[in-house]
Copies of this chain bind each other. A is one copy, B any other.
Amino acid sequence: MGTATATAPWKQLLLNALESNSHLKHSSYLQLATIGSNGRPSNRTVVFRGFEENSDKIQIHTDRRSRKIEELRHCPFAEICWYFTDSWEQFRINGRVEVIDEMNPDSLKREQREKAWFSCSMRSRLQYLGPSPGVPRLNEDFPAEASVDPSTGPVGAFCLLVLEPDQVDYLNLKSNQRLEFTFTRTAGKEKCWTSERINP
């Protein structure tokens, strides 16, 4: 039934969907579900910030002060649900999320975070200087004068999330096809992806 490959066979499907929906601003918006500290599901829209170089890992930017950081430290698993409104395709991407902040002991990862920071617009960077997200608004007029030097590296609140997929459920509502991709390790410890057609 299934086929096995070393490279992620769903990645090309996702790149195609991004391409065919690229005229829509919201095509890079996806829903990221995590498990809340109270044990209930938690779900919000985030922006796809590209794949990690030469991999199928998905990058997302977030504020260290947001609730999802605490949630991911408690339970590092997440499921992305990404629906493309023009091509009618859905990707459900399940995997483990690594939180990369300024305290990361791995210098390569700190570099990756720095690169992510410089890829942001100045407007995006400014958000990380604003008040803590999700807490009661104290003053109506938060000083808008905050500014960030374009050459300065990431501020403390800037976090890079990297989701490493191990299961992808692809549904195409136009062709009514559904495929399940599963990441496994063979007995010889080699990584591989298997895929299987399942009922929609």
Contact = CB atoms under 8 A, between A and B. Distances in A.
Given A35-B41, A39-B77, A44-B92, 19 more contacts: A24-B85, A31-B33, A33-B79, A35-B35, A39-B75, A40-B78, A41-B77, A41-B79, A42-B94, A43-B79, A43-B81, A45-B90, A132-B199, A133-B198, A133-B199, A134-B180, A136-B199, A137-B198, A137-B199
A26 interface: yes
Contacts of A10: none
A85 B29 CA distance: 10
Contacts of A77: 39-41
A181 interface: no
Interface in A6-61: 24, 26, 29, 31-36, 39-45
A135 interface: yes
Interface of A: 1, 24, 26, 29, 31-36, 39-45, 75, 77-81, 83, 85, 90, 92, 94, 130-137, 178, 180, 196-200
